Chains A and B, each alone.
Chain A
Amino acid sequence: MTQPLLDIRNLHLGLRLGRDLHPLLNDISFQIMPGEAYGLVGESGSGKSITSLAVMGLLRKPLSVSGGEIIFKDRNLLTLPKREMRRLRGKNVAMIFQEPMTALNPLSTVGRQIAEMFILHQGKNWREARRLAVDSLARVRVPNPERRVNDYPHQMSGGLRQRVMIAIALACDPDLLIADEPTTALDVTVQAEVLKLIKDLCAERQTAVLFISHDLGVIAAVCQRVGVMYAGCLVEENSTDRLFSDPQHPYTRGLLGALPRLGGRLENGRQRLVDIDSIITDRSILTKTRCIAPRIKEGSTP
């Protein structure tokens, strides 16, 4: 087996309030291979976003990592000097955020915001950078890229803006792309296009993807492997096919059952959706004993 590109080992992360530390992530470990798309699913607040922010080194004040390692290409990102980390960010590890509306500076042209990447990481001057920005826009299939570089974000539709975000993220051919719910704000049809774009672009240059979503359908469309998070724990991990056809952890099972499936409704009459609460009768048990229960790992059977 090849070396994993990203290797998160026993990551602990918490909220530091004064002297106390409220744990938010408990002992998270997973790997992503080069060229692989890894999905993280889980309910809201389970810690998906903070995991990704930890990888990016963008955690803000009250949040802090309290243990574990994040190994990226043999280097522990948690102990990397600030400047090194900065150089890595954007160039080797790039990120797409959820809200394409607010993630772009409303006062700069999209061209400029893409061009910044080339200036920061490739030492280009503004003119060259702008030319490269046009190319980047073309690569994410924005029609009329020459004209569009001069647009401001508010002049673009949600789908186009998300493409710009992707263009920024992929500008410097990163090894790892983190996409935190990149399509939640988009219409289904637009979402489908964006997902396909991410998939194709990453396949083209073997970019590894950490894909976060709570929409299982989206994960299914993009990822090869999936991790399920619940209350700060990675409760199950498996290849996408296996996970969906044979979920092990009660939470995962609940998730799958709770989802109305297209074409799943019987001709006359419908089946009730599974109520997760009815499976996990006492949610607090899961929370309390969270990562203590043996995690259901790939290949293992309970």
Chain B
Amino acid sequence: MRFGFNFWLGATLTALVIFAGILAPWIAPFDPVFNADLMNSELPPDATFWFGTDAQGRDVLTRTLYGAQISLTVGIVSQLINSLIGVTLGMTGGYWGGWWDDLVSGLTNVMLAIPSLIFALAVLAVLGPGLPSLLIALGLTNWSWTCRVARSSTLSLKSQGYVQAAKILGYGDMRIMFTQILPNMMGPILVMATLGMGSAVLSEAALSFIGLGIQPPSPSWGSMLTDARQLIQLAPWIAVFPGLAIFLTVLGFNLLGDGLRDSLDPHMRTRKP
């Protein structure tokens, strides 16, 4: 498989963010929560505080780095949940067909029809704000796309010779799904997941806007950005850096997904002689 420029750009951005998140405790100059000194609030970027400080007097650079942890957790875990639900339902529905498939398709349609932001809002209202609830809310709301993709992939893979062969060789349904179908549809699922990660990061920001985001004082880009919107004139740096971080991360995930899709798509593959 050959990857294009977009893929590598996306992979680099994503890797950067992942490293920032993992290394935050070592590379961040301050503590993200307790190093708050109101005497230092809203300082513009300088030698000590490279990205300036926020309204609480906390270092924006530190919080942006730590924010990567939360945002990545949100992106990755919620997509894991999504993919798990979507793949399980989609694959079994597509494979077994019948009433189960009808049920899965129906449920998928319902989930598509209920606006996801509102569904997430409701789930959060039930569970109360906080990271675990957020992960569940975002994880429960966006699986319908994955499910559709998984289902149609399964339908087309099901008729492939090797799946038939597996049946004839005596493989059970579960074994066929896990060893024959799942590995072969990971491509599109992965693409969906990477694209979904970007939108999960954004959804977190949107939910912060409504006041249901991450539990403070843990830094998340979404809540940093939301809190900073009042300060856009007074202290623009508080918004700029987490905003940039979100932008680059979502861009990274999207380019990664696009790149993956392009290299999986036979049309886009340049044939080598």
Contact = CB atoms under 8 A, between A and B. Distances in A.
In-complex A–B contact (CB below 8 Å) = yes
A14 to B, nearest CB: 9
Nearest to B273: A22
A62 B271 CA distance: 9
Interface in A265-287: none
B159 interface: no
A15 B272 CA distance: 9
Contacts of B271: 15, 62
Main secondary structure of the interface of B (DSSP, over half): loop
Interface in B70-97: none
A70 interface: no
A119 B49 CA distance: 72
B270 interface: yes
Interface in A23-59: 24
A17 interface: yes
Contacts of A24: 273
A24 B271 CA distance: 13
Contacts of A62: 270-271
A193 to B, nearest CB: 30
Interface size class of A (residues with CB under 8 A): under 10
Interface string B3-40: 00000000000000000000000000000000000000
A22 B273 CA distance: 7
A24 B272 CA distance: 12
Interface in B249-273: 270-273
B269 to A, nearest CB: 11
Contacts of B273: 15, 22, 24
Nearest to B272: A17
B268 to A, nearest CB: 12
A178 to B, nearest CB: 23
Nearest to B270: A62
B192 to A, nearest CB: 27
Interface in A54-69: 62
Contacts of B270: 17, 62
A179 B167 CA distance: 40
Nearest to A15: B273
Contacts of A22: 273
Contacts of A15: 271, 273
Interface string A10-26: 00000101000010100
B36 to A, nearest CB: 56
Interface in A183-205: none
Interface in B208-266: none
A165 B247 CA distance: 51
Which among B270, B272, B273 has the highest number of chain A CB atoms within 10 Å? B273
A17 B273 CA distance: 10
B39 to A, nearest CB: 60
A54 to B, nearest CB: 17
B195 to A, nearest CB: 28
B271 to A, nearest CB: 8
A26 to B, nearest CB: 13
B81 to A, nearest CB: 39
A24 B273 CA distance: 9
B68 to A, nearest CB: 38
A23 to B, nearest CB: 9
Interface in B125-154: none
A192 B86 CA distance: 49
A22 B270 CA distance: 13
Contacts of B272: 17
A17 B271 CA distance: 10
Interface in A99-146: none
A290 to B, nearest CB: 14
A62 B272 CA distance: 10
A145 B273 CA distance: 45
A62 B270 CA distance: 9
A19 to B, nearest CB: 15
A22 B271 CA distance: 12
A159 B272 CA distance: 35
Nearest to A14: B273
A62 B268 CA distance: 13
B151 to A, nearest CB: 23
B182 to A, nearest CB: 30
Contacts of A17: 270, 272
A284 to B, nearest CB: 15
A174 B9 CA distance: 51
Nearest to A45: B273
A142 to B, nearest CB: 32
A17 B272 CA distance: 9
A206 to B, nearest CB: 39
A211 to B, nearest CB: 26
8 contacts: A15-B271, A15-B273, A17-B270, A17-B272, A22-B273, A24-B273, A62-B270, A62-B271
The 6 A-B residue pairs whose C-beta atoms are closest, nearest first, are A22-B273, A15-B273, A62-B270, A24-B273, A17-B270, A17-B272
Interface of A: 15, 17, 22, 24, 62
Given A17-B272, A24-B273, A62-B270, 5 more contacts: A15-B271, A15-B273, A17-B270, A22-B273, A62-B271
